[in-house]
Structures are given as structure tokens and as C-alpha cells.
Amino acid sequence: MTAPAGTVLGGELAARRRTLALWCLSLAAVTVLYTSFYPSVGGSKADALLANLPADVVTALGFDDLGTAAGYVSSTVFSLLGAVLTLVCTIGLGAGLVAGAEEDGTLELELAAPVSRSRVYLERLALLWLAAAALATTVVVVLGVLALALDLDLTPGRLAAAGLALALFGGALGTVALGLGAATGRRAVALAGGAALAVLGYVLAYVGPLVDGAGWVRHLSPYDWYIGAEPLATGVDERGGALLVALAVLAGALGLVVFRRRDLLAQR
Amino acid sequence: MDAAVRVRGLVKDYGRTRALHGLDLDVRRGEVLGLLGPNGAGKSTTLRVLLDLLRPTAGSVEVLGRSPQEGGAALRARIGYLPGELALPPRVTAGRHLGHLAALRGDGTAARVPALAERFGLDLRRPLGTLSKGNRQKVGIVQAFAPAPELLVLDEPTSGLDPLLQRELRLLVGEARDAGATVLLSSHALDEVEEVAGRVAMVRAGLVVDVDAVGALRARAGQHVRLEFAAPVDRAAFAGLPGVEEVVVEGAVLTCLLRGTPDALLRAAAPRTVVRWSAQDRELEELFLDLYRGRATPAGTPPAAAVGGPPAGVRP
Ligand SMILES: Nc1ncnc2c1ncn2[C@@H]1O[C@H](COP(=O)(O)OP(=O)(O)OP(=O)(O)O)[C@@H](O)[C@H]1O
Ligand SMILES: [Mg+2]
């Protein structure tokens, strides 16, 4: 007799729900802070300010288009702190869910219980994606309310597209961390791998285009897949989304295959 | 089919370190078997292989008739396991964690938790991080026994428990056996398992070096006896008595190693005036040393494991 589906997930959720709620709260706070500044610094004022800066610097900072509400929110919330907070949460969660629990030994009783290794892994992965979805939904809902309150030109469809991109981005990089952690049993490897991919992606997306003839490297960047097409201004980016999903499937499958085969709780 | 656990030639490597060197072990259905050995002998490694946490490097393993890997979750549903180094999530309460582990089992596990917790005096409302070592061990015991499994695998179950609770645990193991369960438990000390185990398998350096009934093992291990007489005694009166070895006499003090019953020794001492006496069970480690010297077996049957000598701890 084995437990109904979702039991592993439910246990993890119960243990982590407070931490996850705090992440959502801080993400909401950051979103409110940035966006409420738009009426005072956005629009034509920002355009005048940026006209004084070299074009390359503006590009490197991701401030190409602060003149519209979509451009402003995209450049601040989605490209910067919102993305950073989301990634810190999902990569940390991904590293902790399998590798962290294995390193501190709390995984042992669950692995000895009548649930398969696949379920132990996949239900934790599901929780990670639930968290990514919750974070993105928080941003979308907060922005939706602010758009009404401040009369910003952000349509629900575009907001949802940007939220979907954020969920895929956070979920995919969190999955990389979770998969690496499950494959190695080492939390540090999982954290380092997820963080390195995030930073590398950022560098490729923004610095690549500045180097002559190397513009194509940005297409290798998960960060570019996430926000290169500006979903808040242009709607769902199928290609970018598909690439993020592919990255997640690859990392998730790799982690699962190794996790099923190797010795558990034997890393020293 | 009467073997609950059948291990043949089990080899287990951790990277380049070989922990098990071809271990053989049989646990009969319905028996309590103590796995006894010093630190690093390979007890935990063996038990973790049975739970499919570790995969054998070589050799064959059958638990309740199935290989742990193929048996998978369905096989583990029939096993209760207490880890040697129990780690629990610090912020979750004991009750909630036990509830979660019971939910992973389904069946009537959750219903048996409260009575077990009460029996061991475990407060289910406390967060696990605030519990003492002994109280955390109680959580481990409750979760292992609550499923009422066919096979109990307990890695140093008494560690951290006070003598009263150690006794309670022995009772619990006895009840599980009476109810038909098989129990495999590990320990460092013979006296910890001898009350509850029928047989003992001794592990050293990754091999089972001896398996025997507890009583026979205890008799073989012997006791250090010290007799102090009122006047100097003659060594010749004691040397050569049945079951008496290593006789040393210094003036009025006699020390010897006693195996088997003390009857002959007492009769020889009785005509004299004994002013003090003591008898101490020998340490397990000494028994292992005996096994390597090929001494501790009944006359004529050299211990199988001693023939090849101690295995190397690390492969070249
Ligand atoms: N994860 C690991 N990596 C490398 N070596 C290990 C690992 N776990 C155990 N070992 C080694 O394998 C051998 C057997 O260890 P094991 O934990 O099975 O012993 P044990 O009999 O349970 O000891 P103890 O009584 O101290 O619990 C030891 O030499 C130990 O150092
Ligand atoms: Mg051990």
C-alpha cells in the first residue's frame, strides 16, 4: 500500500509554507516600491534622463525603454529585482528540496518509506514549480491592482504573459538547481550551478550584444529567453518559453535518472 | 521460505573505500537477530542496503524474498526502519512529522502513533528541533514501530535512551516478535542485545565473523574473575580446571578467565577463605580479538572467518 499522490509534496509544503509566504510578500513589496515610482520618474522624464547616457550603458542596464509603463515595469520589476528575488527563492528551494534534505539527513525516513525514489523527486519538483507559479502570480496580481490604481497602461493579457515568463524562468533555473542537487547529493553544487547559470545568462544577454560580431551569444542565455522579447510589451514569447521549458525538462530528467540510480545519503 | 533476510557475498564500496567485504547474513522469519560490531564495522552500511538506500557493489541481497531495488516501495511498505543517525526537520512538531510519515504508509499507521508516543512519554506538540537526543530517538522508534511491519530494521535503537526506556524498547521488540515480526537490530554492546535477541551476528571490518545463539556467545566470551584469599594460594590448584584459563596468582590474589559455568572454580576455592571476589563480563572487543586469534570457538572447530585473516580496510 502506498500513499496517495501529493503526500510527499504536502509534507514539504507544510514545512515550507511560511518561508514561501515571506518570499511572496517581499516580492510584492518590491513590485509596489518600483511601480509606485513610475508616475514621478517614468514617461517623458525618464526619456530625457536617459538621453544623456551613452547608448551602450543604457542597453547594459536594461533601461532601453523607460518611457512607457510596460517598458518601465519590465526594466525594473521583471528585469531586475523581481527576477533576482524569484531566482534566489527558486534556486535556493531547488537546492534545498533534494540535496539539502539529503545532506542534513532528513530525507532518510521518507526514502525508507513506501514511496518510490521517482515520487520523492517528482513531488518535490512539483512543489518547486508551485512556488515559482506563486511568486509570478504575486507579481501579476500586485501589478494588476497597481495598474488600476495608478491608471497604468498594462493589459491583463500582457501581464499574464510576463508572469508566465517569470514563472518559467524561476522554475527552469530552480529545476537546474534541483536536478544538479539530486544528481550529486550536494547542496553547494546545486546552488553554485543554478546561480552560475543565472549570472552567465545575464552577462550573455547584456554584454554579448556590446561586443562586435558576438550578438548571437545572447540566444544562448536563459535570461534572454525569459525577457529578451519583452513579453510585457509584446505578449507571450513562445520561442523563449519553449526554450525555458526544454531547459527544465532536460535538467529535471537528468536529475531524476541519476537520483534513481545512485547511492543515497552516502555523500561525504 | 523462512528467511526474512538473506545476504550473500555482499560487497559495498564508498568511492575507493571498501566498507563491506563479502558479507553473509541470514535472518530467519520471526527471530530477533542482533548485528554486533565495533564502530565502522559496516553495520549501518548493511542495513542501508536492505532499505535500498545503498546499492550493492557485488553480492546478492534478498529481503522478504525480494531484492531491495526490485521490491521498491511495495517491499518497503513491509519494513519499519530506524536510522542510526536520525535527522528530523527542526521546525516541524513531532506529531505533524509522525503524521506525515504515517500518511506515506496509508493503512492503520497513524492510528497507532498516539499510543506508542504515550508509552514512551513523547510530547507530540513540541517542535522536533527543541527535543533532546533521547526524545528525538523516541520519534524514530515510534515511526518505525507504528506501521506494525513484518520486518523491523533498527540501527542502534537504544542510543540516547535512559535505562528505563531501553527496557521499554526491549519489551516493544519482544512484543513485535511475539506478534510474528522479524527484528534485525544493530549494537556495539552484547549486553544491550542479549536480553532480547535470540541470535547474534558479529560484524568486523565488513564481514560477519561469527553467528551464534546469545547464550553460547556469552559463555564463550567468558568473564574476568578475581579472587582474593586470606592467605597465599598455589597456582597448581586452579590451573587446568574445566573452563578456567589464563590463571595468574600473585600471593593471595588469583585472576583468571572463566568460560562456561563457575562450578569447578568455586569448588576449588571453597576449602580456602575468600575475602573478596569479582566477576566481570568481557568486553565485546576482546571477543572479536579472540575470534581473530581463532580461540573463542569450541575445541576442534576453527572459526571460518579467522582462516583468511582480517581483510584490508581499503582497496589498493
Ligand atoms: N558515506 C561514506 N563514505 C565513505 N565511507 C563511508 C561512508 N559511510 C561509511 N563509510 C565507511 O564504511 C565503513 C562502515 O561504516 P558503517 O557506518 O557501516 O559502520 P557501523 O558499523 O555502522 O559503525 P558505527 O558503529 O560507528 O555506526 C567505515 O569504515 C566507514 O568509515
Ligand atoms: Mg552505524
Inter-chain touch B106–A1, beta carbons under 8 Å? yes
How far is Cα A129 from Cα A147, in angstroms, rounded to an integer?
26
pLDDT value at residue B286: 72
Please check the confidence at residue B298 and state whether its pLDDT lies above 50. no
pLDDT range class, residue B38, cuts 50, 70, 90? confident
Q: Is A118 near chain B, with CB under 8 Å?
A: no
Task: Closest CB to A264: pick one of B53, B73, B107.
Answer: B53
Mean pLDDT along residues A80-96:
96
How far is Cα B19 from Cα A263, in angstroms, rounded to an integer?
14
Inter-chain touch B104–A112, beta carbons under 8 Å? no
Question: Domain limits at A89?
Answer: 7-267
Q: How far apart are the first and last CA of chain B?
A: 40
Q: Looking at the domain assignment, is residue A2 inside a domain?
A: no
Q: Which SS3 state, helix, strand or coil, does residue B28 take?
A: strand
Q: Looking at the domain assignment, is residue A1 inside a domain?
A: no
The residues pairing with B224 across neighbouring beta strands, listed in sequence order, are: B257, B280
pLDDT value at residue A59: 62
Please check the confidence at residue B184 and state whether its pLDDT lies above 70. yes
Residues of A in contact with B106 (CB under 8 A): 1-4
pLDDT range class, residue A73, cuts 50, 70, 90? confident
Q: Looking at the domain assignment, is residue A29 inside a domain?
A: yes
pLDDT value at residue B188: 86
pLDDT value at residue B285: 63
Task: Closest CB to B91: pick one of A15, A116, A261.
Answer: A15
- Angle among Cα B123, B125, B130 to the nearest 5 degrees reads 80
What is the value of ipTM here, to two decimals?
0.87
Q: Looking at the domain assignment, is residue A203 inside a domain?
A: yes
> Atom 5, ligand 1: which residue's CA is nearest?
B14
pTM of the model: 0.87
Total domains in chain A come to 1
pLDDT value at residue B292: 57
How far is Cα A124 from Cα A174, in angstroms, rounded to an integer?
11
Inter-chain touch B73–A111, beta carbons under 8 Å? no
Reported as a single tens digit per residue, the pLDDT across A170-185 is 999 999 999 999 999 9
Mean pLDDT along residues A196-208:
90
**Is B12 close to ligand 1, i.e. is its CB under 6 Å away?**
no
How far is Cα B26 from Cα A2, in angstroms, rounded to an integer?
28
Q: With contact defined as beta carbons under 8 Å apart, do B199 and B216 qualify?
A: no
A54 or B9, greater pLDDT: B9
- Chain-centroid distance of CA B179 in Å reads 21
Q: Looking at the domain assignment, is residue A19 inside a domain?
A: yes
Q: Is the dihedral of CA B285, B290, B293, B298 positive or negative?
A: negative
Q: What length is written for chain B?
A: 316
pLDDT value at residue A9: 93
Q: Is A211 near chain B, with CB under 8 Å?
A: no
Reported as a single tens digit per residue, the pLDDT across B214-239 is 888 777 778 899 999 999 999 999 99
pLDDT value at residue B291: 66
pLDDT range class, residue A49, cuts 50, 70, 90? low
